[in-house]
Structure 1
Amino acid sequence: MATYVLIPGAASDPWYWHLLEAELRRRGHDVVAVDLPCDDDSAGLAEYADTVVDAIGDRTDLILVAHSFGGFTAPLVCGRVQADVLVMLQAQVPAPGESPGEWWANTGYEQARREQDERDGSDPEDDVALFHHDTPPALAAEAQKHTRTQSATPLKKPWPLAAWPDVPTKFLLARDDRFFPAEYMRRIVRERLGITPDEMPGDHCPMLGHPRELADRLEAYRPGT
């Protein structure tokens, strides 16, 4: 049995993990879906990492799964717990000394998104089309009810690690994502992690649109499988 630690992105609560959580529990695993203090202006990345470590407690056999903005938090946790694997799920990959607020310009996000919007012909202000176009409509509508305010506090300070943590790292890319376009993410992963990402179908939240396939992918990363 493994313990899957699910670390959410910005402005999110643990709800959006519920289908994946149920699938992993059905397979006999423990799951910790972390509730980060995203709407607390006193909380930065250090407090986010504290929250994850506290939620883990004394659990072992850890597989950390970081989604989107969770990519800034998960590596910090790896320095404090014994993780077997770190899975970056369509996650931001920070560079040493780079603040989350700087990440967008440093990685060329604006141009990548503009090109993606032109290809899709979609309204960049339509959050459902941007984040959940491959999610069942009822789930996409429900997801909008679980969006929280994201404090700017964790965006301001440099990411504190001098190098990527010494933990086996996988990157799982959702190839249909309009928010983080696939080719853009492939480049970032290659430049910053030096690996080729694995790919699966899905929009920015494949845990809602493809929970079973996502569980299969995570299971394949588990040591001993």
Structure 2
Amino acid sequence: MATYVLIPGAASGPEYWRPLSAELRERGHDVVAVDLPCADDSAGLAEYADAVVDAIGDRTDLVLVAHSLGGFTGPLVCDRMPVDLLVLLQAMIPSPGEPPGDWWANTGYEQAKREQAEHGGPASDDPSDVYYHDVPPDLVAEATRAERDQSGTPFVKPWPLKAWPDVPTRFLLCGDDRFFPAEFMRRVVRERLGIIPDEIATGHMPMLARPAELADRLEAYRAER
């Protein structure tokens, strides 16, 4: 049995992991869906990592799954405690000393979004169109009700690690994402991790759109470890 530790992205809590959590528990695993202090203006990345470590407690056989902004937190946890595997799920990949708020300009995100728009990108900025376009309506309603405020504090201070932690790392890219364009993310993964990502044919929220397939992918990574 493994312990899957699910680290959310910005303005999100444990709720949107519910379908994936159920799939992983059906496969016999423990699941920790972390509740980050995302609305707390006194909490930065260090406090986010504290929250993950506290939620894990004395559990072992850890597989961390970090989504979106959670890519800045997952490696900090790996630097503090034994982790068997880190899975970056369409996650932001930090560089040493980079504040999350600088990630967008440093990676060329705005240019990528312009190119996406030129090639038939999302018709509006409505979250339902950008984040949830392939998610069942009942889960969209549930996820949007659970959305939280996001403090700007974690975006300000430099990412503190001097190098990527010594932990096996996989990247699962969402090929139909309308928020982080696929070609943009392929480049960022290649440049920052030096690996070719795996891909799943979903938008930004695979834990809602295809939880069973996502659980299968995670289990395959664990088996390969």
Residue matched to 2:48: 48
**1:186 & 1:115 partners in 2: Cα distance?**
15
Tell me the TM-score normalised to structure 1 length.
0.97
Residue matched to 2:79: 79
Asked if 1:100 is matched to 2:125, the reply is no
Inter-CA distance 121–70: structure 2 relative to 1 (3 Å threshold): closer
How well do the aligned residues superpose, as a CA RMSD in angstroms?
1.1
Identity rate, percent: 71
**1:137 & 1:172 partners in 2: Cα distance?**
24
SS in 2 for 1:98: coil
**1:38 & 1:145 partners in 2: Cα distance?**
16
For residues 168-216 of structure 1, give each alpha carbon's deviation from its aligned partner in whole angstroms, at most 9, with x where no partner exists: 0000001000000100000000000000000011110000000000000
Give unpaired runs (5+ residues) of structure 2: none
CA apart distance, 1:139 = 1.2
**2:122 & 2:51 partners in 1: Cα distance?**
37
Contact 2:122 2:178 in 1 (8 A): no
CA apart distance, 1:142 = 2.1
Residue matched to 1:13: 13
Residue matched to 1:205: 205
Contact 1:90 1:172 in 2 (8 A): yes
Residue matched to 2:140: 140
For residues 140-166 of structure 1, give each alpha carbon's deviation from its aligned partner in whole angstroms, at most 9, with x where no partner exists: 122111111100000000000000000
Give unpaired runs (5+ residues) of structure 1: none
Letter in structure 2 aligned against 1:217: R
**1:26 & 1:156 partners in 2: Cα distance?**
39
Letter in structure 2 aligned against 1:185: M
Inter-CA distance 186–145: structure 2 relative to 1 (3 Å threshold): same
**1:156 & 1:197 partners in 2: Cα distance?**
28
SS in 1 for 2:73: helix
Residue matched to 2:153: 153
SS in 2 for 1:218: helix
Tell me the TM-score normalised to structure 2 length.
0.97
CA apart distance, 1:223 = 4.2
CA apart distance, 1:217 = 0.2
Residue matched to 2:61: 61
Contact 2:66 2:87 in 1 (8 A): yes
CA apart distance, 1:121 = 4.7
